[in-house]
Structures are given as structure tokens and as C-alpha cells.
Amino acid sequence: MTIEEILSLDESQTFDRKSINIAPRDLSNHVSAFANADGGIIAIGISDKSKRIEGVDDHQKEVNELLRVPMDFCTPTVPFVHEFVECIDSKGRRNHVLLLHIDASPLIHENQAHDAYMRVGDKSKQLSFEDRMTLTFDKGLRIFEDFPVPEANYEDIDETYLKEYLQLIGCSKPPREYLLHNKNFATLRDGVLKPSVAAILLFGKNPQQFFPRARVRFIRYEGNEEKFGAQMNVVKDVTFEGRILQQIQNTVDYIQTQIKERTYLTSGGIFTTELEYPEFVRTELVVNAVTHRDYTIRGTEIQIKMFDDHLVVESPGNLPKMVKIDKIRESHFARISHIAEYLKSYKYVKDFGEGVDRMCREMEASGLPKPEFRQVAFILKAIVKNTGFEQQKVDFEGKNLGIEGEKVDFEPQKVDFGSQKVVFDGQKVDFEKIISQSKYNSTAKNHLKQIISDIEPNQVLSAQYVAKLLDCSKTSAINLLSKIKSLNLIEPVTGKGKGKYILKKI
């Protein structure tokens, strides 16, 4: 950066100028303010009012003291890089200006008086207690999910689901002991176990008793926009409650019933299905919303709005201060969330921070626009569009594939694990009944149902296909195929190579 570039800048969210005569304790307020916000540059040796260049060459003692400010006057230490920029001072002499480059920090920094500041516009604002708590939540240092729920006790925890989770993660501790000694899931107050917010949301018998709006609402509209009053165009309005895992599973399954699909038989005799929105994108939108919503906001729920040409997921809460809308794909800031860790055990979260980037890649690979993100007041909106799907439908219907009697289905896919019957060759097989009555645990059953619901009667099934579908390892995929085979739902197919199966005709 040159002196000309420095002088051309106005004081802003990420830039400030200070006189060489600033006291170290005063500079510490600005250093911590930048670190607590978005980072930035502080130019020292320029009058902040008149832009008069003072320079720093004749003030070696003051320079040394100011360079110690991020370490000796801020707690914890603020990492920084400094440089000296050549200039001509106001007296016409060759001189230098000192630049402090400060990065946004995941920590909260304070001065020697234990006051915390934050850069807001072109000012360094001292934070009130409430502002500091909000910033703390944003930075993920003190998570609301760790707070005990005063009205709840151990009787509000469903041991069945807690034991299932402990079995999944290979923990042999008794449920009560696990809550008390892991992830702040519970504390003892006067001998009474008090579950945390996260414990109630993950393992509670009735989480909505304590958090009535901790739920997901799905609304489908006719057309491409939301209308009100006499023109109201709502055609579906369904709410999903229960524990977080239940909300995600039921919401994802229901969205699948509402999306359009295009199914056709290839010249090789294999069914191929193209979906309106990629499966990973649909699932990730729900998982992100449920995992990262601000549960301190109790006046609204997550809302998923489906229109003819786009899908909107509205989640209560702001992005963390360190994550900007235009950089959200590259940002990997993650709250240390017990909810996210829990969902990672169930394969809904793979690696913290990779979801948005993969959604973008999946949409691009399907020829669809990348997701859009908008912050509107305290609601974060994620928007995906099916632009081109309807046109592809028209183009596809106009083609003659040369297959006698072939029918292309563009109707919304019907998937309901409560009553679904898979039909082929005139026979109906209740796969849910077969899977539900099996010896496998609920997680395995859910995976088996997902595999069965995704394939067509004549579609070839392989470990590679299952691994891609469930985003799991090949070993896990082979294991799941073995389970399906043991239930007599699939049979080997010849001529396609080893380890290839099709649905068995029963």
C-alpha cells in the first residue's frame, strides 16, 4: 500500500488513522475494536482530522510503545502485522507512516480496564454488557445451547433416544452420567439435574414444551410469489416438531414428496431420474437451518417456502459477525455446536463449514444457479432456484427416444414412509414393513429406507451408488447392501459386473 492509497481512504469499518501522539491505552481500544469486528488497518503518523502527515521516524520511543499495544494492552493478545510506508511529511521531509494490519479474531479482546470495543462504521464503540453477550454468542464462545433450562429436569429427557445415541457413538456411560460429564448437557443444582438447551432439543420428550417455536414449518405456494388476503396462494402448510433429528428427517422426507422429478428409461434399459433440486442441497438447507438457527429468538420458527420456480429457507438469526454474505462460500467459521456434533454422528453433518461450498458445486453440476443468501432483519434466507428445469422438461418431452410406450413422469415424487407402497410388475411390496420389522437399529433402518425409496425397479444398485447417495464410505455402503440383501429385497444382476443388484420381484 502506498501513501497515496492511504490518503485516499476515508475512515471506515476497516480503516482508521491516528496521530503518532496517541496514548497506548487509547490505541488499545481501536486495536481490540478491529479484532472484535472485521479486522482492518490502522495508519499511525497521520492526523485523523486533517490528514496531515506527521510521520514516525522522529518518534522511535513512541513507535516501540505503540507496537507493544496489541500484546501488552489487549487481553488476549491481538495478532497483527506491521509495516512502514514511505512518505513525505508535512514539513517536506522523507519519512514513514506505520501501518498495523489486524485480522478479525475468533476471540473477544478487551483493554487493560477490561472494556471491550467493536468497530462500527468509522467509530470504535464500547460494548455494553448486552452487546458483549451478543458478540460472544456470535463468536461461538458462550453458546446458548449450553445454558440449563430452569423448568426442566431429568424426567424431561427420553432415555430411549439418549441410549440410542450413546450406542451409536460407542459410549458405555449410563445416560444420566453422560449428561452430567459431557458437553455441558446437564448441571446439578441443589441436587437436581438440570438439562441444557441442547439436551432438551436433542433428547427431550417434548422440546416444544420449553421452546414452542423450535420447529420447522413447510409452506407450498402456487405460483412464483407469496400472496395474501383474497389472493392467498398457500396449497400446503405442514409443521414438523419433536427432537431435532426428528424434525430434520421428517422435513427432508416431506420435501421429497413435493419436488418435481423426471424419470425415463435409457436405451440401455436402465431407469434414470432427474430431480428438480439435488438431494444434497435439499437436505443441507434443512440441516443448516435447524443446526445454526438462533434458539434465543423464540418468536418464530424455521420456515421453508416452496414456489414453482424456487425454494426459500428462512432461519431465525444473523450470520456470525465474521461471516459475510458475499464470502459465505469460502467462510469456514463454525460455532462449536453440540447440535452440529450430534448430527455429524448421524451423517447429516460431515465437516464443519463445507456445506455451502458443496451446495454450490451440486447446483452447478445440475446446471442450476448457485444458492443465494440474504440477511433480512434477524432472518437469514437461503434461496435455490430451479431455473431451466421446466424448459428442460419441455425439451425432453419433445424428444422421441424410440422406446415404445415410454412415459415420462413430471409429477411431484410421492414418498411417504408412513404409507408408501412400492409398485412394480403389478405387485405391491410394503418395504417399510419389511425394514421396520428387521433387527437393525433405527439409523440403519432410515438408511435402508432412503436407498429403497431412491431407486427404480430396474435400476442397477451398487456400493458406489449407495456411497454417493448417503455420502458414506464404500465399506459402510457394502454393509448396507448386505443388510438389504439379507431382507430379501434385492437380487444379483448378471452382465453388469460383480456387486450389482436390482430390486427383487416379490
pLDDT digits (tens, 9 = 90+) for 37-91: 878 999 999 987 789 999 999 999 999 999 999 999 999 999 999 999 999 999 9
CATH topology of domain 218-315+352-397: Heat Shock Protein 90 (3.30.565)
Give residue for cell 458414506: 472
163 or 451, higher pLDDT: 163
What does the pLDDT read at residue 400? 41
What does the pLDDT read at residue 377? 84
What does the pLDDT read at residue 173? 93
What does the pLDDT read at residue 471? 75
Q: Are 260 and 276 in contact (CB under 8 A)?
A: yes
pLDDT average, residue stretch 196-215: 96
Q: How far apart are CA 154 and CA 174, in angstroms?
A: 13
Residue 189: CB atoms within 10 Å: 11
Share above pLDDT 90 across residues of the chain, in percent, rounded to a whole number: 50
Tell whether the model's pLDDT for residue 506 goes beyond 60.
Answer: no
Q: How far apart are CA 195 and CA 106, in angstroms?
A: 28
Tell whether the model's pLDDT for residue 266 goes beyond 80.
Answer: no
pTM of the complete model beyond 0.75:
no
Q: Are 322 and 118 in contact (CB under 8 A)?
A: no
387-422 per-residue burial string, b: 16 or more CB within 10 A, e: under 16: eebeeebeeeeeeeeeeeeeeeeeeebebebeebeb
pLDDT average, residue stretch 467-481: 78
Max mean pLDDT among 322-331, 394-403, 405-414 falls in 322-331
Range list of H helices, 222-354 = 244-258, 279-292, 338-345
Question: Looking at 224-233, 327-336, 375-384, which range is the least confident one?
Answer: 327-336
What does the pLDDT read at residue 409? 41
What does the pLDDT read at residue 419? 37
Where does the pLDDT of residue 160 fall: very low under 50, low under 70, confident under 90, or very high at 90 and above?
very high
Q: How far apart are CA 415 and CA 95, in angstroms?
A: 73
Strands 15-18 and 40-44: parallel
What does the pLDDT read at residue 121? 84
Question: Looking at 237-241, 277-281, 434-438, which range is the least confident one?
Answer: 434-438
Where does the pLDDT of residue 393 fall: very low under 50, low under 70, confident under 90, or very high at 90 and above?
very low
In the DSSP assignment, the letter for residue 148 is B
Provide CB contacts within 8 A for 317, sequence distance 6+: 292, 293, 294, 297, 378, 379, 380
Q: Are 101 and 81 in contact (CB under 8 A)?
A: yes
Q: How far apart are CA 278 and CA 426, in angstroms?
A: 30
What does the pLDDT read at residue 59? 96
Alpha-carbon Rg for the chain in angstroms: 29
Tell whether the model's pLDDT for residue 428 goes beyond 50.
Answer: no
What does the pLDDT read at residue 458? 66
CATH class of 3-136: alpha beta
Q: How far apart are CA 265 and CA 275, in angstroms?
A: 15
In terms of phi and psi (left: phi > 0; alpha: psi -120 to 50; beta: otherwise), the region of 426 is left
Where does the pLDDT of residue 392 fall: very low under 50, low under 70, confident under 90, or very high at 90 and above?
very low
Share above pLDDT 70 across residues of the chain, in percent, rounded to a whole number: 83
Domain-wise residue ranges, the chain: 3-136, 144-209, 218-315+352-397, 422-503
208 or 446, higher pLDDT: 208
Where does the pLDDT of residue 464 fall: very low under 50, low under 70, confident under 90, or very high at 90 and above?
confident
pLDDT average, residue stretch 262-281: 75
CATH class of 422-503: mainly alpha
Burial of 138 (0-12, 13-18, 19+ CB in 10 A): buried
Tell whether the model's pLDDT for residue 204 goes beyond 70.
Answer: yes
Q: Are 435 and 445 in contact (CB under 8 A)?
A: yes
Where does the pLDDT of residue 326 fall: very low under 50, low under 70, confident under 90, or very high at 90 and above?
confident
Max mean pLDDT among 201-210, 292-301, 376-385 falls in 201-210
Q: Chain-centre distance of CA 73, in angstroms?
A: 36
431 or 11, higher pLDDT: 11
Distances (CA, A) of 427 to 456, 457, 485: 14, 11, 19
What does the pLDDT read at residue 325? 80
Tell whether the model's pLDDT for residue 145 goes beyond 60.
Answer: yes
Q: How far apart are CA 295 and CA 335, in angstroms?
A: 13
Encode pLDDT of 355-389 as tens digits. Answer: 888 898 888 887 889 999 999 988 999 999 986 55
Q: How far apart are CA 259 and CA 278, in angstroms?
A: 10
What does the pLDDT read at residue 398? 42
Max mean pLDDT among 260-269, 292-301, 382-391, 431-440 falls in 292-301
Where does the pLDDT of residue 167 fall: very low under 50, low under 70, confident under 90, or very high at 90 and above?
very high
Burial of 291 (0-12, 13-18, 19+ CB in 10 A): buried
What does the pLDDT read at residue 453? 75
What does the pLDDT read at residue 406? 38
Q: How far apart are CA 329 and CA 357, in angstroms?
A: 5
Q: Are 196 and 188 in contact (CB under 8 A)?
A: no
Give the three cell numbers for residue 318: 444473523
Give the three cell numbers for residue 333: 467459521
Where does the pLDDT of residue 456 fall: very low under 50, low under 70, confident under 90, or very high at 90 and above?
low
Q: How far apart are CA 124 and CA 12, in angstroms?
A: 10
Total residue length of the chain: 506
Where does the pLDDT of residue 261 fall: very low under 50, low under 70, confident under 90, or very high at 90 and above?
confident
Among 315, 339, 311, 213, residue whose Cα is nearest residue 255:
311
Q: How far apart are CA 254 and CA 176, in angstroms?
A: 34
Where does the pLDDT of residue 126 fall: very low under 50, low under 70, confident under 90, or very high at 90 and above?
very high
Q: Are 371 and 359 in contact (CB under 8 A)?
A: yes
